[in-house]
Chain A
Amino acid sequence: MSGNLPGLAATTEIPDLDLKGVSEALQARRISSVESTEAYLRRIEQHDGVLQAYITVTPERALEQARSADAEIARGERRGPLHGVPIALKDLIAVAGVRMTGGSQVLANHVPTEDSPITTRLVEAGAVILGKLSMHEFAFGRPATDGSMQDGPFPTGRNPWNVQRITSGSSSGSGAAAAAGLCAGALGSDTGGSIRGPAAMCGLIGHKPTYGLVTRRGCLPQCWSLDHVGPMTRSAWDAAVMLQAIAGHDPGDASTSSARPPSYTRDLEAGVRGMRFGLPRRFYVEWPGLHPDVRAAAFAAFAELERQGATIVDVDAPTLDQAQGIWGAMLSEMYEYHRDVIREHPERYRSPTRLLMLASALCSAHDLVRAQRLRARLAREIRDILQGVDAIIFPGQAEPATPFPPSDLAPTELVRAASRYTNVWNLVGLPACVVPSGFSADGLPVSIQVVGRPFDDATVLRIARSYERATPWHTRRPDPAGWKL
């Protein structure tokens, strides 16, 4: 079956492994952390000129962390599955002493003095940080191929499955790097789909955790009530392990839950037999913007889940139809964050980003309150659905990756219609995970999405894994021979 699939079969070379493969090889001492770090650094050196996944690479720091990991592992002091594993962070997560740009000239020379607690937890877990990944400007700009990596404005990542295509945004570098083997796993952030969009278009697992599970302290905000940080990886296990490292209460982020996170790997292989899934057919399947290749792959995936013993029933929530308007009103949070800088230095933002910021300012107080009331209603409707099903499933995105737009293109929509597949779940804060479900006729990845109950991220990942292990999609790798312009 996989012989006719796009891309190449994964080899045992380090950049072809998933995070689990790297972790197991390190544990078995088949490779060292230094060897794996050097392998990724070579890959970055060789291919990132085209893929544009990194804004900043930190080779000396990474090799130092790798040497330390090797020494500890040699002494029998393995910290866990991330120990010695090279990963990378979206360039809005602070690493002390490393430039953090947010993909913008506004912060081109900004160097945080403290780690985000997310960084701290990853380092404590023994992870090796390869560098900072490219992104759409302030997590909301539009994809761009122009600009300098040194001085900004910064280009966004190219899709490893077709470098003429976008990765979607805003975690473009995270998607490109994880899919192309420029790291073993990446972190992205998601305000309206910025983890799940690039993961879907790059053939990755992308998990937006429950709001309140992962701290956002030390991360550049886009919209405080919508922002989430989460993993983008080649497998569900990889995502579970990364989530485990970063989940949990942060006294410095009042939005985080005080409950202790469960194990995200314990029941990962438990399957879906007996589970009941809700399919919002009217809102997601019957929407005319859904690409037929995404639709066909999604239905094949749903059939596979039924074959494994799950039941699928149609569900609906009337307020889904208001989600775009609600989400659009919430973007006033973004303008509020940027208002002083954009007033003083509007020229420092890319033109499309500036226009989006200005448009988000044009929301009245009563529109915002009305949106909040409808947001609460939407949450109640979704809660009612989840009392009858274990999870909600639907196509992961509207369409496969599209070509880069012309560089001078101004945005025409503040809220893109296709974002309905993702931004609903930021409004209600539920765990949402995209899972590769095949390829389009053009050889581009497509996906399904699984949404679970609040703080039940473990079940979402278990469903993802149950589907993943029955299908070959996650074992395919984009062909480096195509990484040319």
Chain B
Amino acid sequence: MSDAADQPSSTPDPAELQARFEAEIAVAGITVSGDDRAPLYAMWTELQPIRARLRNASLALEEEPSFTQKPAQLGAGITLAGVLVSGQATVDDKPAGGQP
């Protein structure tokens, strides 16, 4: 099931879509057998609205990627101050969230 918002606003030209698919295969440098081609094209086509939405997202210039790829780690953008400190400290130091 896909989100309604994921649906493309207009149907792209099939020939153009096929050409883009072939171009992406060429750029990726992958070999696709004859039997795989049609189902792979179907999958790729389904992915296009999601990818278009990703490409159309508005991002500020200062929005950096998470280079560490450790989003829950200290300094990677999500760790809450006081929850985790490095070294020998433990998460036991965190205040309890709620009353027993």
Q: Which residues of chain B in 1-57 are interfacial with respect to chain A, using CB atoms and an 8 Å cutoff?
A: 1-3, 5-6, 24-25, 27-28, 30-33, 35-36, 39-40, 42-44, 46-47, 50-51, 53-55, 57
Q: Is the CB of A383 within 8 A of B78?
A: yes
**Contact pick for B94, options A271, A321, A346, A456, CB 8 Å:** A456
CB-CB under 8 A from B1, the residues of chain A are: 288-289, 398, 417-418
Q: Is the CB of B46 within 8 A of A414?
A: yes
Q: Is the CB of A386 within 8 A of B57?
A: no
Known contacts A259-B86, A456-B83: does B65 contact A383 (CB below 8 Å)?
no
A359 contacts chain B at the CB level, 8 A cutoff: yes
Interface string of B53-90 (1 = CB under 8 A from A): 11101010001111101111110111110011111111
Q: How far is the CA of A429 from the CA of B74 in the complex (A)?
A: 12
CB-CB under 8 A from A377, the residues of chain B are: 59, 63
A153 contacts chain B at the CB level, 8 A cutoff: no
Q: Is the CB of A456 within 8 A of B91?
A: yes
Q: Is the CB of A414 within 8 A of B70?
A: no
A-B contact count (CB 8 A): 204
Q: Is the CB of A428 within 8 A of B98?
A: no
Q: Is the CB of A255 within 8 A of B91?
A: no
A12 contacts chain B at the CB level, 8 A cutoff: no
CB-CB under 8 A from A325, the residues of chain B are: 50-51, 53-54
Q: Is the interface of B mostly helix, strand, loop or mixed?
A: loop
Q: How far is the CA of A458 from the CA of B90 in the complex (A)?
A: 12
Known contacts A362-B28, A371-B54, A415-B50: does B70 contact A429 (CB below 8 Å)?
yes
**Contact pick for B97, options A225, A414, A455, A459, CB 8 Å:** A459
CB-CB under 8 A from B97, the residues of chain A are: 275-276, 390-391, 453, 456, 459
CB-CB under 8 A from B2, the residues of chain A are: 417
Q: How far is the CA of A418 from the CA of B2 in the complex (A)?
A: 8
Q: How far is the CA of A273 from the CA of B35 in the complex (A)?
A: 58
Q: Is the CB of A370 within 8 A of B54?
A: yes
Q: Is the CB of B73 within 8 A of A212?
A: yes
Of residues B30, B63, B67, B83, which shows the largest number of chain A Cβ atoms within 10 Å of its Cβ?
Answer: B30
CB-CB under 8 A from A415, the residues of chain B are: 47, 50
Q: Which residues of chain A in 236-290 are interfacial with respect to chain B, using CB atoms and an 8 Å cutoff?
A: 255, 257-263, 267, 270-276, 287-289
Return A118 CB to nearest CB of chain B, in Å: 18
CB-CB under 8 A from A361, the residues of chain B are: 28, 30
A92 contacts chain B at the CB level, 8 A cutoff: no
Q: Is the CB of B36 within 8 A of A355?
A: yes
Interface residue range, chain B: 35 or more
**Contact pick for B69, options A225, A321, A355, A459, CB 8 Å:** A225
Q: Which residues of chain A in 392-436 are interfacial with respect to chain B, using CB atoms and an 8 Å cutoff?
A: 398, 410-415, 417-418, 427-430
* Interface contacts beyond A259-B90, A275-B97, A362-B30: sample of 7 additional A-B pairs, CB < 8 Å, sorted by A: A211-B73, A212-B70, A270-B100, A362-B25, A370-B59, A413-B43, A417-B2
**28 pairs, CB–CB < 8 Å, chain A vs chain B:** A212-B70, A288-B1, A325-B50, A325-B51, A346-B31, A351-B35, A351-B36, A355-B39, A355-B40, A356-B43, A359-B43, A361-B30, A362-B25, A367-B51, A367-B55, A371-B54, A375-B71, A379-B66, A398-B1, A412-B46, A415-B50, A417-B1, A418-B1, A428-B72, A453-B83, A454-B79, A456-B91, A458-B91
5 closest A-B pairs by beta carbon, nearest first, are A372-B65, A429-B72, A275-B98, A390-B97, A225-B69
Partner-B contacts on A (CB < 8 A): 210-212, 224-225, 255, 257-263, 267, 270-276, 287-289, 309-310, 321-322, 324-326, 328-329, 343, 346, 351, 354-356, 358-359, 361-362, 364, 367, 369-377, 379-380, 382-383, 386-387, 390-391, 398, 410-415, 417-418, 427-430, 453-456, 458-459
